[in-house]
Amino acid sequence: MSALTPAVSAAPVPHPPSGASTSSTSSASKQSRAVSGPTYMENGRKTYVVHGANFEVPSFIDITKSVGYGAYGLVCAAVDVRTNKKVAVKKNKQVFRDAGDGKRILREVKLLKMFRHENVLSLCTFYVGSGTFDDVYLVTELFDTDLATVIRSKQNMSEDHGKYFIYQVLRGLKYVHSSNVVHRDLKPQNILVNLNCDLKLCDFGLARGLNKLDTIEMTDYVVTRWYRPPELIMLNKHYDTSVDIWSTGCIFAELLNRKPLFPGSNYLSQLQHIVGLVGIPDGILSSSSFQNKDAVEFLLNLKIQKKEDNSLQSAIPGSTDPHAADFLGSMLQFDPKKRLSASELMKHPYMSKLHDPNDEPVSNTQFDWEFDAVETLSRDDLRRLFVTESQEFPEHLPVDL
């Protein structure tokens, strides 16, 4: 993305958010104590102990510290000693205990293995742990922080920075969408950022294909809800790439305001926030974009009104660019058919200083969703699929299938 360098250098690059790339002495000490080892294994790998759990890596990877852990896995910062490249190693624990979780991780493995784009996270390597073969490890590029941390920080950030971040999001989405993939869970936490403001989309576990008729999982998860478009809140079964465009609009406004645009506490509250800003389009009952007519009638019966003093410009009061409100409005269209695509948005006047038609590539490969069509996979089926995928990498552990 060399063509962007002049535009970036013309704007001040934000300093790292507080705590994003360096830790306090106390925190660093705790992280250091959380990791011990390694112990070398007969199969050529080595094992560290991270937060009391075994953490297995190829011989050429040295763990430096733990950067996150929870009920389902661990993430460590590490170094590939062959290249001195910093990487992140994520251990997904007991992947095969739940078919849904296993399928989600397999989906992400397959996608990250295929993706090759400057603004989309890709897989460096991937392997199944030894022993019970229940743990799956993903190795990716290491990033300093995520966009949510940048937004929450007190670091000054100009509109040019927000513009550059969103341009990279759109550039990544153009590639992802051309791969026959819809992200479906785009939010600041799923956007990785380096201290030089380079950005990559990540966390594709909920992604789906463009041609797959599917019902989105309506989990009651507050953070994700804030970036969810109205058609999915209203239980539409069919969707397309426009769901990611709506989320991008929410993220754009949040970058400029440093606070969520639609912070609904539940789905009704979410719709009230949305309608209060963008209104309800005429003819919504007859629109093919909203198949769930009961949900539409329910919305209309609520008699939520757009606030008279609300405008898209009022949603981003700090913007000084005359094209910003129209740019935001091109993403926050209630009717998904009226939202611009990622490619079209990069051509918008708001992006004129960054848009480079010769450096906004699409994918040469369409993702094959055939494996995802299988509704039920046994524990052994899942393990076999993971091992087969891992054998395409040189670090895989031979397993008797």
| Residue 283, amino acid | G
Give the tokens for residue 34. Answer: 């959380």
In whole angstroms, what is the distance from residue 4 CA to residue 392 CA? 34
Annotated binding residue 91: yes
Q: What is the pLDDT of residue 86?
A: 95
Confidence category of residue 11, pLDDT binned at 50, 70, 90: very low
Name the strand (E) or helix (H) holding 121: none
- Alpha-carbon 274 to chain mean position: 22
- Number of CB atoms found within 10 A of residue 28's CB: 12
Q: CB-based burial of residue 394 (10 Å sphere; 0-12 exposed, 13-18 middle, 19+ buried)? A: exposed
Instruction: Determine the average pLDDT of the residues in 307-333.
Output: 90
CATH 3.30.200.20 maps onto the chain at: 39-142+375-392
**pLDDT tens digits along 350-386:** 999 999 999 999 999 999 888 877 767 788 888 888 8
Question: Any catalytic annotation for residue 326?
Answer: no
Q: Which residues of 107-142 are buried (b: 16+ CB within 10 A; e: fewer)?
A: bbbbbbbbbebbbbbbbbbbbbbbeeebbbbbbbbb
CATH placement of domain 145-351: 1.10.510.10
Which of 128-132, 146-150, 205-209, 257-261 comes out lowest in average pLDDT? Answer: 128-132
Given a cut of 80, whether residue 219 has pLDDT beyond it is: no
In whole angstroms, what is the distance from residue 148 CA to residue 12 CA? 20
Given a cut of 50, whether residue 61 has pLDDT beyond it is: yes
Q: What is the pLDDT of residue 391?
A: 82
Which of 51-65, 149-163, 318-332, 376-390 comes out lowest in average pLDDT? Answer: 376-390
First-to-final CA distance of the chain? 43
Given a cut of 70, whether residue 215 has pLDDT beyond it is: no
Positive or negative: CA dihedral 8, 14, 15, 16: negative
Q: E strands within 319-382? A: none
In the chain, the percentage of residues whose pLDDT exceeds 90 is 52
Instruction: Determine the average pLDDT of the residues in 323-342.
Output: 96
Residues in CB range of 351: below 8 A, 6 or more apart:
163, 167, 170, 327, 345
Name beta bridge partners: 128. 136
In whole angstroms, what is the distance from residue 343 CA to residue 172 CA? 10
Q: What is the pLDDT of residue 5?
A: 32
pTM for this prediction = 0.87
Given a cut of 60, whether residue 20 has pLDDT beyond it is: no
Spatial CA neighbour of 344 closest among 212, 119, 177: 177
Residue in 135, 146, 185, 198 annotated catalytic: 185
In whole angstroms, what is the distance from residue 126 CA to residue 389 CA? 8
Q: What is the pLDDT of residue 213?
A: 45
Instruction: Determine the average pLDDT of the residues in 331-339.
Output: 94
Give the tokens for residue 13. Answer: 């690059």
In whole angstroms, what is the distance from residue 75 CA to residue 90 CA? 4
Confidence category of residue 19, pLDDT binned at 50, 70, 90: very low
In whole angstroms, what is the distance from residue 287 CA to residue 308 CA? 25
Mean pLDDT, the chain, rounded, equals 84
Q: What is the pLDDT of residue 130?
A: 82
Contact in structure between 281 and 334 (CB atoms under 8 Å): yes
**pLDDT tens digits along 87-110:** 999 999 988 888 888 888 999 999
Fold exhibited by the domain 39-142+375-392: Phosphorylase Kinase; domain 1 (3.30.200)
CATH 1.10.510.10 maps onto the chain at: 145-351
Q: What is the pLDDT of residue 355?
A: 98
Q: At what angle do helices 242-257 and 159-178 cross, to 10 degrees?
A: 170
Q: Classify 359 as helix, strand or coil.
A: helix
Give the tokens for residue 323. Answer: 């094209």
Confidence category of residue 123, pLDDT binned at 50, 70, 90: very high
Spatial CA neighbour of 236 closest among 184, 302, 272, 279: 184
Q: What is the pLDDT of residue 31?
A: 52
**pLDDT tens digits along 129-159:** 887 678 899 999 999 999 999 999 988 899 9
Highest mean pLDDT among 1-15, 85-99, 112-126: 112-126
Q: What is the pLDDT of residue 310?
A: 64
Given a cut of 50, whether residue 122 has pLDDT beyond it is: yes
**pLDDT tens digits along 276-317:** 999 888 888 777 778 787 888 888 887 777 776 668 999 999
In whole angstroms, what is the distance from residue 188 CA to residue 151 CA? 8
